[in-house]
């Protein structure tokens, strides 16, 4: 067993904290560890800490729960830091969707690329740099595991501003494999894949089950299907010969074809504007349920692993195992087609020696220009966020294929900067 101090920064997260605490509680290798929950929202933190203690008690785990409103306290002597922060919450997300829409730009998620992704990066990247500064002072040997979007920009910012060892994680590929298993009639867990790309646009370069290539079957089923559950991904598969991940709503935003006027702003492909107010309503209901569960008024429900890989990686690093995981790290020699140092999503060997990226299969030639252009655009975005540079932010916005022109970009950027002024201290001047 390896007892570790694991800090969850942004522990008020609806998407991650409950699952990550459950994973820690169910991982015997980490018995005796401390999960430090940090958030700036005192009410949310109180609920999550109470729920976490009940989860731990329910499974009889040896895991201490330590909530704190102080980031410095959370990071002090941490062995691992898991970041799930989102600045401005659903309200800021709503602005990231609504303001571009007023300029004719549709976004099906708006948290990674497109104007919404850039806007979120301008808010979050400086905080990532601050967290890394604190880690260098308070836990210099700790790993930073980032889930926060825009994931690629955040991981790049960590490497550009610090010496903190960092990796980004996303469950998107596993969700895509599950969707393909349902479509093809395989049991869950039957499909295996080798994939590479950038976060939210990763390409499955080899898809197999029991040693057999599954792509011919997928082509056959798509040809025969009258109703395809993933029309965007299917169209890209036919175009490039590789299936993209992690689903239509994310991959569509990397191309101008699926959300533009010709595609009826996504409706031709079953896409629509993301609705943060709906998400806010759902989260309020979820928080109320979790509060009742924390108080013991409702049962906790089925307990199982979340499917996220952070705790598996922590366990491997802490206990000396070596495992292969899909991670987001700087490109060294993994993807020949991508710039050195660009953050890529690839398989890596993870263990006590850290993270070592593995050589990826060749990308389809047609996707390479799109991925390369995105890498340079995200590098511009990070520099804009760190410097508080409107000029660089405008350049990054214009490099996004969803943006139709210079006049639109200038007006849109100024509106986004004004709308988020309270969360953009780097742009205060």
* CA gap 328, 326 in Å, rounded: 7
pLDDT at residue 304 above 90? Answer: no
Count of structural domains within the chain: 1
Average pLDDT of the residues of the chain? 95
* CA gap 281, 273 in Å, rounded: 17
Question: Binning pLDDT at 50, 70 and 90, where does residue 294 land?
Answer: confident
> For the segment 69-98, what is each residue's pLDDT rounded down to a tens digit?
999 999 999 999 999 999 999 999 999 999
pLDDT of 301: 79
pLDDT of 284: 85
> For the segment 385-427, what is each residue's pLDDT rounded down to a tens digit?
999 999 999 999 999 999 999 999 999 999 999 999 999 999 9
In a domain, 50, yes or no: yes
pLDDT of 278: 80
pLDDT of 302: 76
pLDDT of 297: 85
In a domain, 131, yes or no: yes
In a domain, 117, yes or no: yes
In a domain, 270, yes or no: no
Q: How far is CA 423 from its chain centroid?
A: 20
The residue behind tokens 């040896």 is 62
Reference 243, options 177, 182, 178; nearest CA is 177
Q: What range does the domain containing 66 cover?
A: 5-91+110-169
Question: Binning pLDDT at 50, 70 and 90, where does residue 1 land?
Answer: low
Question: Binning pLDDT at 50, 70 and 90, where does residue 298 land?
Answer: confident
> For the segment 160-186, what is each residue's pLDDT rounded down to a tens digit?
999 999 999 999 999 999 999 999 999
In a domain, 96, yes or no: no
In a domain, 11, yes or no: yes
Question: Binning pLDDT at 50, 70 and 90, where does residue 319 land?
Answer: very high
pTM, to two decimals: 0.96
Peptide bond into 332 cis (omega under 30): no
* CA gap 23, 312 in Å, rounded: 8
Q: What CATH number is attached to the domain comprising 36? A: 3.40.50.720
In a domain, 135, yes or no: yes
pLDDT at residue 50 above 90? Answer: yes
Q: How many angstroms separate the Cα of 354 from the Cα of each of 315, 341, 402?
A: 12, 17, 37
pLDDT of 429: 63
> For the segment 59-77, what is each residue's pLDDT rounded down to a tens digit?
999 999 999 999 999 999 9
In a domain, 184, yes or no: no
């Amino acid at each position: 067993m390896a007892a570790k101090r694991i800090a969850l920064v942004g522990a008020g997260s609806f998407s991650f904290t409950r699952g990550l605490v459950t994973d820690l509680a169910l991982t015997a290798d980490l018995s005796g560890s401390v999960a430090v929950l940090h958030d700036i929202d005192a009410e949310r933190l109180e609920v999550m800490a109470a729920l976490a203690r009940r989860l731990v008690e329910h499974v009889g785990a040896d895991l201490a729960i330590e909530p704190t409103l102080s980031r410095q306290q959370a990071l002090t002597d941490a062995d691992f830091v898991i970041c799930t922060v989102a600045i401005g919450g659903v309200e800021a997300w709503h602005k990231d969707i609504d303001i571009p829409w007023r300029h004719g730009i549709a976004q099906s998620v708006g948290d990674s690329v497109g104007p919404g992704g850039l806007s979120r990066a301008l808010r979050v990247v400086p905080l990532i740099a601050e967290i890394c500064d604190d880690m260098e002072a308070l836990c210099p040997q700790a790993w930073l595991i980032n889930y926060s979007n825009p994931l690629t920009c955040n991981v790049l910012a960590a490497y550009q501003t610090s010496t903190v060892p960092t990796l980004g994680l996303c469950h998107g590929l596993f969700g895509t494999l599950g969707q393909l298993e349902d479509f093809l009639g395989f049991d869950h867990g039957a499909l295996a894949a080798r994939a590479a790309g950038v976060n939210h646009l990763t390409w499955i370069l080899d898809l197999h089950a029991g040693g057999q290539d599954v792509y011919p079957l997928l082509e056959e089923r798509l040809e025969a299907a009258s109703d395809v559950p993933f029309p965007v991904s299917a169209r890209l598969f036919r175009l490039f010969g590789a299936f993209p991940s992690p689903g239509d709503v994310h991959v569509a935003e990397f191309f101008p074809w699926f959300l533009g006027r010709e595609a009826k702003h996504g409706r031709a492909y079953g896409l629509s504007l993301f609705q943060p107010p709906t998400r806010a309503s759902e989260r309020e209901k979820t928080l109320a349920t979790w509060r009742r569960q924390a108080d013991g008024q409702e049962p906790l429900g089925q307990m199982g692993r979340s499917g996220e890989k952070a705790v598996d990686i922590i366990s491997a690093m802490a206990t000396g195992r070596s495992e292969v995981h899909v991670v987001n790290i700087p490109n060294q020699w993994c993807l020949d087609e991508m710039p050195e140092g660009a953050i890529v999503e690839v398989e890596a060997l993870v263990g006590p020696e850290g993270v070592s990226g593995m050589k990826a299969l060749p990308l389809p030639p047609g996707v390479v220009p799109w991925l390369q252009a995105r890498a340079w655009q995200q590098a511009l975005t990070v520099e804009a966020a760190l410097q508080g540079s409107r000029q660089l932010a405008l350049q990054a916005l214009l490099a996004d294929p969803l943006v139709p022109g210079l006049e639109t970009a200038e007006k849109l950027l100024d509106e986004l900067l004004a709308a988020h002024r309270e969360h953009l201290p780097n742009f205060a001047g």
